[in-house]
Each structure stands twice: as structure tokens, then as C-alpha cells.
Amino acid sequence: MARAGGFVIAAALAVPLGVLMGAYKPVEAFFEPFVSFARYLPASAFIPLLILWAGIGEAQKLAVIFIGSFFQLVLMIAVSVGNTRRDLVEAAYTLGALDAGIVKRVLLPSSAPEIAETLRMVLGWAWTYVIVAELIGASSGIGHMITDSQSLLATDQIIFGIIVIGLIGLVTDFAFKAFNRKLFPWAQIGR
């Protein structure tokens, strides 16, 4: 549950902040230095601290996934929104749209397929973070099973765990791609 929860919380907070940063230069100027700094801090470096604060349960995994995903998402979404064609924005202003209307009717529809693709990519990274968290400090999960198998020299279980990780990642990636194709059919033109 923490695996999905950490990513969902990160996405729920990162998407609005990233959209605001991409749409409004003063918001970007305020948040970008902090987010850029935090983006370079490896999520795995926080694991010892999170074990002290949250223990070795689901809360620790959730926090690692959140830290590893949130800052990457914010910056990538801000870039996606900021890359909206200027002629579309200028045309909307010419037609009398206000700032909120520009965001709602131009920036979001234009950048939504790229935001969805960003979410898909970072979901893969989040999956990696949870495995790292389970390898280092957890009492359950695939990473924990791999660590236990290592101490028993059970290479077959280690290989099985690695294959399961890959299959779960592949299935979620294909599901996310299919959902994105269905949700944004216009983004598939030319691909």
C-alpha cells in the first residue's frame, strides 16, 4: 500500500505545484531553488534517518518514495507546462482570456499528455526507491525477501525476486501507457 501511496501523495502535491511553477514566473523563482536543491539529494540517503523516525514499516517506505518522486515530478511538470507553445498563450490573451483561463484552457490541455508521461516515468523510479528501502531497512516486501535469500545463499529466490520486480514494473508501465493513449489520443499523432 505504501508503494502506491507514496507515489500518489507525491503526484497529488507535485502536479499543482509544477503547473503553478510552469505558468507563473514568480512562483517558479520562489520554489525552483529549493526544489532543485532537494532533487539532488538521493532518496536512499534518507533511509537511515527515516528508519529512526518512522521505523522499518510502511511509513518509512512511503516517505522514501515521496522524497524520491516529489521533487523530480515538480521540476519535470514545470518544464512541461513552461514549454507550451507561446503562440497559443498569446492567442488566448488576444481573445481576452485571464491568467486562470490560460492555465485551465491552454497550458493544462497542451501539457497534459507530457505530464502523464512524466508520471509514468517517475512511477518507475518510485518502484526502484521502494525496493531500495526494502533492501536496506524493512521487515517485509520483495527487497526484504531478496536480502533474506542472500543470507541463506538462495540464489534461485534472489533471481525470482528480481524477475518479479521486472514483471511488476513492466505490467504497470504497459498499463500506464495504455491509459495515457486512451486519455490523450491526440498526443499519439506523429509517434
Encode the chain (191 residues) as per-residue pLDDT tens digits: 556 788 999 999 999 999 999 988 999 999 999 999 998 888 888 888 888 888 777 788 888 889 989 999 999 999 999 888 787 777 877 777 777 878 888 888 888 899 999 999 998 888 888 777 777 766 677 777 887 887 788 888 888 888 888 898 889 889 988 988 888 887 765 45
The dihedral sign for the CA sequence 17, 179, 184, 123: positive
pTM for the structure as a whole:
0.82
Specify the pLDDT at position 32: 93
Name the architecture of domain 2-188. Orthogonal Bundle (1.10)
Q: How far apart are the C-alpha atoms of 104 and 107, rounded to whole Å? A: 6
In our burial notation (b when 16+ CB lie closer than 10 A, e otherwise), range 50-80 reads bbeebebebebbbbbbbbbbbbbbbbbbbeb
57: left (phi over 0), alpha (psi -120 to 50) or beta: beta
In our burial notation (b when 16+ CB lie closer than 10 A, e otherwise), range 33-45 reads eebeeeeeeebbe
12 alpha-carbon distance from chain centroid: 10
Domain ranges of the chain: 2-188
Specify the pLDDT at position 115: 93
Specify the pLDDT at position 190: 47
